[in-house]
Every structure is written in C-alpha cells, then in structure tokens.
Amino acid sequence: MHRREWGGVAFAVLIFLLVQLGALALVPTFYEQGYQTVEDPTDPTNSLLYIGAILVATVVMLAAFKYNLDRLIRGLIVFTSGLLSWYVFGAVIPPALGGVIGAGPANLLSIALAGGVSVALLLYPEWYVIDTAGVLMGAGAAGLFGISFGLLPAIVLLTVLAVYDAISVYGTEHMLDLAEGVMNLKIPVVLVVPLTLSYSLLDEDFSQTPAVEGDDEDAPGGTDAGATESGGAAPEADGGESVADERDDPAVNVGGDGEFELGEGRVDPDDTDEPDRDAFFIGLGDAVMPTVMVASAAFFSPADPLGTGLLSVLNLPALLSMVGTFLGLLILLRMVFAGRAHAGLPLLNGGAITGYLLGSLATGVPILTALGL
C-alpha cells in the first residue's frame, strides 16, 4: 500500500476506536438512565425483530429514492443524528453544567449541542462534520444496543447480519444498489476517510459518478461513490454495471451494514507513485455492529473487570472482542486495497465474536455461559 493509504487505514482505525470507547463509556450511564429498550435482553428473538426492522427501513428508503423523496430520507437521518447525539451529550454532560430541565439528556447544553450537530449536517456537510456526527451516532447506537442485547442475542444478531452481508455482496449483489441513493445525500450513514489534506466532500457530485458503475475517469473529484445503509436489501439497479461485477477494479465497495469504497485511480503494484484516489468510505454500520458485541460483553459477561475507574467497564472478553474487530478491519482493508470488493461484516463481526469467546474462555467463563445459554 502507499503512504496515503496507510494514513487512511490509521484514520479508519481511529474512527472505530472512538466508536468502541465511546460505547463502553456510555453503557453504565445509559443503563442507569433507563435506556434499555427491551424487557428481556436475553431473548434472542429481539435480534430477529431488529433484523426485520432493518429490512423494512431499507425498503422504505429504496422506495423514497425511487420516487425522488431524497430530502425526506436526508431529513430523517439528520433528525436521528441529532436524537442520538442528544442521548450521548446528556450522558456525558453533568446536569449542573448543562442547566437542568430534567434528568439525563434533558439539560440545556446537551439540547443545544445536539441541535448544533443537526444544523451542521444540514448547512455544511463536510467530511469532518459527517465523521463527527457518525462517531456520536455510532457510539450512542452501540451503547443502547449493548445494554439491550444480551450475549446470545448479540451473537445471533452479528452472525445473521454477517451471513446476510456475504450473500448480498457475493451472491445477489443487491447491497451495492442502495449506494446510488445514499452517497449524494452527504449524511452520516457513511464515514469519510480522506487520503489528502485538500479533499472536500462538498466538492463531490456523486450523481455524476454512479455508485453501481466502474471507474469514470471524467467524473469530478476523483472519487467513486459507494456506500449503503444498514442491512440494505434492494432490487438490481436499472442500467449501469455493478461495481461488484468489476472485481479487479480498484474502485471497490466492501459491503456490510455499509461498504468500503475506494476512490478513482488504477494502481500498479510496481508503481511507487501515490494513487489518484482522494478518499474512501466506511459504512457506519460496519463500525456499529461489532461494537454491539463489545458493549454487550462489557455489560453482560460475568468476567471480572480489568480494573477500577475507566477500566471498571472493560473486561477481558470485551477487550479481546475489540482486538478481534481491529484484526478483522486490518485484514479487510488489506483486501480492499488489493483491488477487490469484499463484504465487511463477516470479518468484522467474526473477529468481534471470536475475540469475545476467546476472552471468555481465558477468564474461566464456561462456553455455554459465554454463549448466553
């Protein structure tokens, strides 16, 4: 890989780390504030209901794109960004500092900051605004799911989504289709990893660089669009050639609850010059889903915490789940930069689950207990 690409890998790792550390920090406060969303977090059917909700939401989004209701989708995501940010700020800002209206997120400062996130996304969706909102959303969502999905439901959720992701990328390839409607909205459904200091997402016009087509050398901005929403399911796009059909093209997507996408520019392995690509994109769901396992392990595992203070929310199963996620991420990025499309969640979720199970066994937790049985 080239130097710029190594910088992009480091930035992607940092984003994942911030989401995971943020979720871990939020877990105890979310639980104390009563944000557990289910009555029985050990019930594995909770996972199936969530997967069903993903599919329904995807169908709604596809219908909205088909009937030119893009602004409705953008408004909904921006509202969700503000809502999750509100929960996050409410958990970390002391009520005395925020000006109390009520408990938890209902303090004035958290409301103001969450509103600022939504306004920034509406008025100036530059890559660092989207990434900041994405980290807040990712940490908040993973923290909420972490206290709501017990060990077995979390494992079921991650396993089913990993299998579905592989099918949708390598089999039906329909995960790529949703990218067409998402990228030009410039919303934190995808995280942006710039490879140059001069890169600006505001200058991109993804409507002229179709996400389902191969390289377009005449496209502005030097970046091919491509990212999907969580758990997308879509019919094949009309016209155009799927990126997944051009496996040797370095403009690649990696599916998942989102996709990894490299920008324009062919790379010769023997060429020492820097590649032309300006950025690549990571689906927010690819950061959130393995973090659900990390947060669930930290909250539900009977393993002892690693220490006091900040380490009191982290045990060895959760720590090794984090390690497994990052090993999966590094392998995935290596495969992506080699120039082929790959599903993200099999490696990411697989690494998170494997790390969790190894950590559980290392601490003496019986395997059936670790599986939540």
pLDDT in tens, 252-282: 333 344 444 444 333 344 444 555 668 888 8
| Lowest-confidence region among 169-183, 221-235, 260-274 | 221-235
The pLDDT of residue 308: 81
Cross-sheet strand order for the sheet of 190-194: 190-194, 279-283, 260-262, 253-254
Alpha-carbon distance of 266 to 9, in angstroms, equals 18
Instruction: Express each pLDDT in 63-75 by its tens digit.
Output: 887 788 888 888 9
The pLDDT of residue 175: 62
The pLDDT of residue 106: 59
The pLDDT of residue 257: 46
- Identity of residue 358: L
Q: What percent of the chain has pLDDT over 90?
A: 40
What are the φ/ψ torsions at residue 44 (nearest 5 degrees)? Answer: -65, -15
What is the C-alpha end-to-end distance of the chain, expressed in Å?
A: 44
Q: How confident is the model at residue 310 (pLDDT cuts 50, 70, 90)?
A: confident
- Tokens for 22, please give them: 């943020």
Alpha-carbon distance of 245 to 57, in angstroms, equals 26
CB 137 within 8 A of CB 284: yes
Residue 260 has what DSSP assignment? E
The pLDDT of residue 359: 96
Q: How confident is the model at residue 114 (pLDDT cuts 50, 70, 90)?
A: very high
| Lowest-confidence region among 160-169, 276-285, 320-329 | 276-285
Alpha-carbon distance of 292 to 298, in angstroms, equals 10
Please give the average per-residue pLDDT across 99-113, as a whole number: 70
Taking alpha carbons only, the member of 188, 186, 184 closest to residue 219 is: 184
Segment 312-316 long-range contacts (CB within 8 Å, at least 24 positions apart): 313/24, 313/25, 313/27, 313/28, 314/24, 315/359, 315/363, 316/359, 316/360, 316/362, 316/363
Q: How confident is the model at residue 197 (pLDDT cuts 50, 70, 90)?
A: confident
Q: What percent of the chain has pLDDT over 70?
A: 74
Give Cα separations from 341 to 20, 48, 233, 261, 276 (angstroms): 25, 27, 18, 9, 18
The pLDDT of residue 195: 87
Cβ-count burial 316-326 (b if 16+ within 10 Å, e if not): bbbbbbbbbbb
Taking alpha carbons only, the member of 146, 289, 277 closest to residue 204 is: 277
pLDDT of 43 higher than 70: yes
H or E stretch at 135 = helix 127-148
Alpha-carbon distance of 373 to 172, in angstroms, equals 34
Bigger pLDDT: 279 vs 147 = 147
Bigger pLDDT: 308 vs 247 = 308
CB 219 within 8 A of CB 277: no
Alpha-carbon distance of 90 to 113, in angstroms, equals 10
> Which residues, 6+ apart, have CB-to-CB distance to 323 below 8 Å?
355
The pLDDT of residue 102: 53
The HSE-up count of residue 259 (CA atoms within 13 Å, CB side) is: 36
| Full-model pTM | 0.81
Taking alpha carbons only, the member of 357, 358, 359 closest to residue 373 is: 357
